[in-house]
Chains A and B, each alone.
Chain A
Amino acid sequence: MHPVLQNWRSLLVWMGAWIPLGAILVLVAHLSGPLTIAQSAAVLAPAILVLALVCLAPFYVCRSLPLRSASGAKILLNHLAAAVILSGGVMLVGRFTASLLGLERGFAPAVPMLAVITLMIYLLAVALHYAALELEAARRAEILVREAQLKALKSQVNPHFLFNSLNSISALTAVNPEEARQMCIRLADFLRTSLRLGERASVPFAEEMALTRMYLDVEQVRFGSKLRVKQDVDADCADCDVPALLIQPLVENAVKHGIAMMAEGGEIVMSGQRDGEWLRFVISNPFDPEAPSAGRNGLGLRNIRERLESRYGGAARMEIKVENCSYRVALTLPVRVLR
């Protein structure tokens, strides 16, 4: 259903807009032949009403022929053909009304000019509809981005991570106050940075990795020698533009479902390379396939997948490989360099 037809008020506004447009048509009919203003108005009234409704039709045509989907020539040709047919139709309505009123002769000289103007009006309506559809699409895309950010932020600060870290601090206060203070500061650094990055749509890869490091620094205190990290990221990845909070949740997954559930711990291996137009990041961790489940799994990964989809369309890839006792996530993103 066309939005203008959805309530009475918008329909009234739309019809109201046709009073000046109709007046122009009436004036043209009056000036190009013997008809008086009143006669022209009488002849054209039904035709103008039809035109007002016909000019709502581009809504459906424009939606089935989006600007980006088809070639410009095809779109233009389609709308031009529609415009010719519709203005012809409107002229026929005018002719018919004129014949009913016995004014055919007076109306005839005005027809070519009226037909051209009608055609123009229809094409203008097409352009207006495209503009409105674009605005609507932009607004919807923005809402999607906001939603994704909000979700990311919510999933970001995992309460159990926080509570367990606070418990570690509580344990350290008596035996090692200096270490306890260190841990407080690391936790604060991580939280502050993750809130700051969460407000941004994208960040340089280096900043995301720095956040990941802060997270691991906190977890290192909790898990001690159980948690080992190997990182091999090429320097030219540093200023590639990536969605904020993309890597850190992957690392958190690796700790929560992998390392934390292994009695003897394990090593998280991260690597990043830049290959021309692509950034490739791989993280792998060992896991115990027989471990009790550590709460909801896959939710964070789905969130990441959705964000990649909304950001890059189909261009980015996320591959998950589970092999024996190793879990591996590989991301391939189109490179966009900041600055």
Chain B
Amino acid sequence: MKLRTLIADDEELARRLLREFLKGEEDIEIVAECGNGFEAVKAINELKPDVVFLDVQMPRLDGFEVLELVESDAAVVFVTAFDQYAMRAFDAAAVDYLLKPFTRERFGASLDRVRARMGDARVALPQNLKQASRAPGEYLERLVVKDGPRVHVIPAGRLDYAEAQDDYVALHSEGKSWLKQQTISSLEAALDPRRFLRVHRSYLVNVERIVRIDSNTKDTWVAVLNDSSKIPVSRSGHLRFREIVGGA
């Protein structure tokens, strides 16, 4: 059986090079080529390829966001000119990380790793492994959510608060809310802790939105946001808040 392969890169020449290197491989069949992140998400979800060659910097969505949005256990090989994403790539369970430009031998080695991975009884990766940990001091600037067939992008600054709902988080932004399959803890880890505060086991709040904190019962509080939503604040959440605003 052939390995159904998808190429996602915004540069035509970069795609052409991959195509050329793959041409001689008997067991490879190219099923799609995509020039931006949206196309890649759509094609991966529809075609369920076995192998994805994925550029990091692309229009619309970057390679990591594409991986977050697809339901796929394809073997992913990142192909990029940037070396600083290698850690994130392996956290996102990539099979290999190819630095442009690369030799045919290096590409061959990458294909061998892909084939080795295919031989394994494949285990679906836990979702939170895909929401990659990142370099210290580097946080998500935007969140991507699948909204039916479409993809919705929320800049981090426009997120008001997030609420845990079983295996999902509800992201509240500008009066609307979006469901995303992710744990609130992994979302918390991905966002800048100076801007987003875990005020409660189930709530993560954009600090800038908090207008005041009212006392509720003896050990609980309520954070009032500027759109007057009320968020429960636990004892430890209240402590964390006081740490951030300097003990006031």
Contacts and interface: CB of A to CB of B under 8 A. Distances in A.
A294 B61 CA distance: 11
A295 B141 CA distance: 11
Interface stretch (B11-19, B87-95, B173-181, B213-221): B11-19
Interface string B55-78: 001111110010000000000000
A294 B12 contact: no
Contact of B20 (A159, A166, A168, A174): A174
Contact of B59 (A170, A175, A260): A260
Interface string A189-224: 000000000000000000000000000000001111
A125 B81 CA distance: 61
B111 to A, nearest CB: 17
Given A174-B20, A222-B13, A260-B10, A167 B100 contact: yes
Contact of A292 (B13, B16, B39, B65): B65
A222 B101 contact: no
Interface string B134-171: 00000001100000000001010000000000000000
A326 interface: no
Given A222-B11, A263-B35, A291 B100 contact: no
Given A292-B62, A293-B141, A167 B17 contact: yes
A84 B65 CA distance: 77
Interface size class of B (residues with CB under 8 A): 20 to 34
Contacts of A292: 37, 57-58, 60-62, 65, 141-142
Given A163-B100, A170-B101, A174-B20, A288 B14 contact: no
B241 interface: no
A176 B54 CA distance: 24
A160 B60 contact: no
**Chain B CB within 10 A, most for which of A169, A170, A221, A223:** A170
A163 B11 contact: no
A294 B10 CA distance: 13
A262 interface: yes
A261 to B, nearest CB: 5
A215 B79 CA distance: 24
B13 A221 contact: yes
Interface of A is mostly: helix
B16 A171 contact: yes
A163 B100 CA distance: 6
Given A260-B57, A263-B60, A292-B142, A172 B13 contact: yes
A163 B62 contact: no
Contacts of B61: 292
Nearest to B12: A224
Nearest to A159: B81
A261 B58 CA distance: 6
Interface string A275-313: 000000000000010111111000000000000000000
Nearest to A166: B101
B38 A263 contact: yes
Interface string B16-38: 11001000000000000001111
A288 B59 contact: yes
A223 B11 contact: yes
A181 to B, nearest CB: 15
A155 interface: no
A166 B12 contact: no
A175 B82 CA distance: 25
Given A167-B14, A263-B35, A291 B60 contact: yes
Nearest to A179: B13
A182 interface: no
Contacts of B224: none
B101 A291 contact: no
Given A160-B82, A292-B37, A171 B60 contact: no
A140 to B, nearest CB: 34
Nearest to A262: B59
B43 interface: no
A99 interface: no
A10 interface: no
B99 interface: yes
Nearest to B20: A174
A170 B99 CA distance: 13
Contacts of B100: 163-164, 166-167
B20 A167 contact: no
A168 B11 contact: yes
A295 B11 CA distance: 18
25 contacts: A160-B82, A163-B81, A163-B99, A164-B81, A166-B100, A166-B101, A167-B13, A168-B11, A168-B13, A168-B14, A170-B101, A170-B102, A171-B14, A171-B17, A171-B20, A175-B16, A222-B11, A222-B13, A261-B57, A263-B36, A263-B39, A263-B59, A288-B59, A292-B57, A292-B58
* Nearest 9 pairs of A and B residues by beta carbon: A171-B17, A163-B81, A167-B100, A292-B62, A167-B101, A171-B13, A263-B36, A263-B59, A170-B101
Given A175-B20, A260-B10, 9 more contacts: A163-B81, A163-B101, A164-B81, A167-B81, A169-B101, A170-B17, A170-B101, A171-B13, A263-B35
